[in-house]
Chains A and B, each alone.
Chain A
Amino acid sequence: MDYGFVFSSALGELFSPTTAAYALAALGLAVHFGYSGLLNFGQAGFMAVGAYGFAISTLTFGVPFFIGLLIAIICSVIFALILGIPTLRLRADYLAIVTIAAAEIVRYIVTTNQLTSVTGSANGLAAFEGGFYLLNPFPEGSYMGMNNRDFFIRVVGWSLVALCCVLVWLLMRSPWGRVLKGIREDENAVRSLGKNVYAYKMQALIIGGVLGALAGMIFTLPRGAVQPANYGTELTFFLWTCLLLGGMATVLGPVIGAMIFWVVLSLTQSFLYGLIESGAVTWLTTVQAGQLRYILVGVALMLLMIFRPQGVFGNKKELAFA
C-alpha cells in the first residue's frame, strides 16, 4: 500500500472545494439548528435551489455571473419563505418532515422529464461555469500542484467560508443573535418580552438557506455539472453529520466537522482499497467498500448523537435540545 498517496489524498480533501461547500452548508445548518433550534432536514433542497438557480439563469437566460449569483440567492430566499410560512409555527418534528419533503419536491421537479429543456432532467445541466472562470485573476501555471482553475475555486470557496464564518460570528454576538438563542432556549419567554418570534425564526431560516444556496454553487462549480441525484436526502444527512461532528452551536465547528468528515472518509476509503488490492481483504469488492462509507457515516451519526451530542468543539450547555 502506498501510504504517501493515502495521506496526500486525505490532505487534498482537507481543502477541496467539496469540503468548502459542505462547511458552508453545515454552517447554514448551525444557524438553523444550533442557534435557532429549527430542525431543517432540507438543506440539500437549499443547495439544489442555489445550484439550479445559478445554472438555469446562466444557461437559459444567458445572464452574466454576478446576476446568476444574485438570482440563485433570491431563489433560496423565496424557497425559505415558502418553507417557513406554513411550518415555523409548528412543532420541531413537523418542521423536520416538511423540510425533508420540500427538498424532495425540489429534486423531483428538477428530475422530471416534463422540464427537460430547462433542467436537463436526470442528466442535469453542464457548461455553465465559464463566466466564473473568466473572473480568474491567476494566470495559467502550477499553484501548489494545482492548475489555475482548481486553485481559483479553492481560493474563492474558502474565502467565502471564512467570510461567512465571520458574518455568522458577528450576527450571533449581536442583540439579534441573543434573541435567536433565547428562542432556542425558551420560545415563550422571548415572546413574553414582546419579540416577534416568528419573524426572527424566518430571518434565521433565510440566512441559513442563503448559506446553503452558496454552498450548492461552490459544490457544483468545480464539477461543471449539476445533477439531481447529488441532492438527495443523503446529502442533508451528511451535512448533519458534519455539523454534529464539529459542534452545532459553534461557528468553526461545522467547518472543522466538514474537514474531519472528508478526511476520515478519504482515509478509510484509501485504506480499504489498498487492503483489497494487496489481497489482505478478500471478502469485499471495491464497490462494496464504497458502500461501507455510508454505513460508517450512519453509525458515526448514531454514536455521536448518543455519546457526544455537543460534538468535538461544542459546549454542552448550548445544546438545542435538553
Chain B
Amino acid sequence: MLVAFPAFIIAILLVLAPASQATSPAPSPSPSDQNFQNAISGFLRDDTRAPLAGVTITAKSGDFTGTAESSENGSWRIGVPVQGTYEVELDESTLPDGIKLADGQENPRTVTFSQTSNLSVIFAFGKGIVVQEQNFGQNLLNRLVAGLSFGLLLALAAVGLSLIFGTTGLTNFAHGEMVTLGAVLAFAFSSIGLPFWLAMILALVGGGLFGYAQDAGLWRPLRRRGTGLVPMMIVSIGLALAVRYVIQLFFGGATQQLPFAQSAEIQIGPVSISPNNLWSLLISAVVIGILGVVLLKTRLGKATRAVADNPALAAASGIDVDGVIRLVWIVGGVLASLGGILWAYYRPGVTFDMGSQILLLIFAGVTLGGLGTVFGALIGSVVVGIFVELTTVFGLAADLKYVGALVIMIVVLLFRPQGILGRRERVG
C-alpha cells in the first residue's frame, strides 16, 4: 500500500492527462506563445465595451521583442521568456478608425511582473475620456477589498492545513500541491468540454479524493508504524516534489486560463473590484462560515475539536479517531481545491507550481494564527492577504509583496510564538 501510493497518483494523472493535453490550447488566442511560461496580456475594448480586433501590440526588453495581434474578442497575449520589466507599446496606426487611446494613457509604457506569471495591461480608449487617476484613499480601499478576497482564499487552504496539523500533528508541505491539483483538475475538466459548474464540482471531488487517497495510502500506514512527526514532514516534502512534477509532466510548463478568467472591473459603491474577485470573496466567506458552524455546533465538529485537543483522550471517550482524521483529510482536500480554483482566478492563470508559490503564505497564515487552531488560521490568513495587498499601496515594490508577509510571520514568532490565537503550551 505504502509503495503503491506514488504509482497511484501517477495512474490517476495518466487517466486524466491525454484529455487535458489534447485540448489544451483552447483559451489563448495565439498558440505560438505556448512555449513561454510567462505572458503579458489584456483585453482591448472601446468606450462602448465592444472588442477591438486586429490591433498590434509589442513588448520589448533587452534583445527580446514579442508581438501580438488582438483577437476577435479583443484579447491579446504576448509570451515572454522571463518575468521582468518590459516596454509595452500599442501600435496606434492599427486601431480602427475613430478609436484612439484615452487622454493620459501612456503609450509606450513600462510594466513589471510581480510574482505571477501573467501580467495584465489595460489600455483605455475613447474620445475625450480621461482615465481617472485613483487617489490614495480609493486605492487603499480597493486593495483592502482585494486583500480580503485573497486572504479568504488563503484561509480555505490554511484551515485545511491547520485541521490536519491539529488532528495528526503533521506539517504538510504537500498542501500546495493539493491547491494546484484543484485548479489543474478544473482546467482539465472544463477543457474536455464539460459544463463549467460540473467541471468545478468534479475538481472539488477530485481534491477530496486526493486527500482521502493521501491519508489512506500514506499517512495512516505511517501513523500505524509510529513514524515521528519530523520524518512525516520530510515525507510530505518528497510527496510535494513528486506530485508537483507529475503535474508538470502532464500539464506542461505553460500558463492556462480557466473559463471566464478575464473580466472587467465593476464599481460597487466606492470600491472597484472584478466580478471574479467578488465571487471569490463571497464563496470563500460562505464556505468558511459553514465550516465554522459545523465545527462549533455539530457532533462531528465537536469530535474533530476533541481529536485535535487530545487524540488519546478522544479515542478513550469513544470517538472514532481514524474516522475523524480521514474526514479531515477529505475536507482539507476539498477546501484546498476550492482555494486553488479561486487562486487561479485571482492571479489569473493555472500553472503547475501555483500552489507551491502560495504555500509559504498559507504557512504564514497558519503560524500567525497559531498552529493547529482553525479560527486562528482564518484570522492569520486574512491578515496575510490584506497585508500583502496593502504593502504595495504604501510603496513596497510589487515583486517584493510576499516578503512583507513572511517578515511579519517571523516578527510575530519573535514576540508571540504561539500565534494570535494559540495557547502558550503548544510551543515547546
Contacts and interface: CB of A to CB of B under 8 A. Distances in A.
B233 A298 contact: no
Interface residues of B, number: 51
- The B interface, classified by DSSP as helix, strand, loop or mixed, is helix
Contacts of A102: 406, 410
Contact of A90 (B246, B407, B413): B413
Interface string B285-318: 0000000000000000000000000000000000
A234 B410 contact: no
A301 B237 contact: yes
Interface in A90-114: 90-94, 96-98, 100-102, 104-105, 108-109, 111-114
A240 B241 CA distance: 12
Interface string A110-141: 01111000000111000000000000000000
A96 B173 CA distance: 11
B290 to A, nearest CB: 28
Interface stretch (B81-89, B201-209, B257-265): B81-89
A166 interface: no
A159 interface: no
A203 interface: no
A299 B360 contact: no
A30 interface: no
A294 interface: yes
B210 to A, nearest CB: 16
Contact of B403 (A92, A105, A288, A305): A105
A93 B410 contact: no
B234 A97 contact: no
Contacts of B364: 101
A300 B400 contact: no
B409 interface: yes
B360 A104 contact: yes
B421 interface: no
B198 interface: no
A185 to B, nearest CB: 14
A108 B399 contact: yes
Interface stretch (B70-78, B121-129, B224-232, B324-332): B224-232
Interface in A28-58: 39
B82 A302 contact: no
Contacts of B411: 86
B424 to A, nearest CB: 12
B32 interface: no
A92 B82 contact: no
B397 interface: yes
A94 B233 CA distance: 12
B249 interface: yes
A309 B249 CA distance: 28
B413 A94 contact: yes
Contacts of A302: 6, 235, 238-239, 242
Given A86-B413, A297-B241, A306-B235, A96 B84 contact: no
B248 interface: yes
Interface string A281-308: 0000000100110110111111111100
A301 B235 CA distance: 7
A234 B359 CA distance: 13
A240 B233 CA distance: 12
A72 B218 CA distance: 42
A94 B165 CA distance: 12
B230 A92 contact: yes
Contacts of B238: 237, 241, 297-305
Contact of B239 (A39, A298, A320): A298
Contacts of B118: none
A92 B227 CA distance: 16
In the A-B complex, the 6 residue pairs with the smallest Cβ-Cβ separation, listed nearest first, are A298-B242, A301-B238, A298-B241, A302-B238, A294-B245, A86-B414
Interface of B: 2-3, 6, 82-85, 112, 171, 222, 227-231, 233-235, 237-246, 248-249, 356, 360, 363-364, 367, 371, 397, 399-400, 402-403, 406-407, 409-411, 413-414, 417, 427-428
Interface of A: 39, 85-87, 89-94, 96-98, 100-102, 104-105, 108-109, 111-114, 121-123, 233-234, 237, 240-241, 244, 288, 291-292, 294-295, 297-306, 309, 320-322
Given A305-B234, A306-B2, A321-B229, 5 more contacts: A113-B399, A291-B249, A298-B241, A306-B222, A320-B230
24 contacts: A85-B414, A90-B427, A91-B427, A92-B230, A94-B371, A96-B233, A98-B409, A100-B363, A101-B410, A112-B397, A113-B112, A113-B397, A233-B356, A237-B238, A288-B249, A291-B245, A295-B241, A295-B242, A295-B246, A297-B241, A298-B241, A302-B239, A302-B242, A306-B231
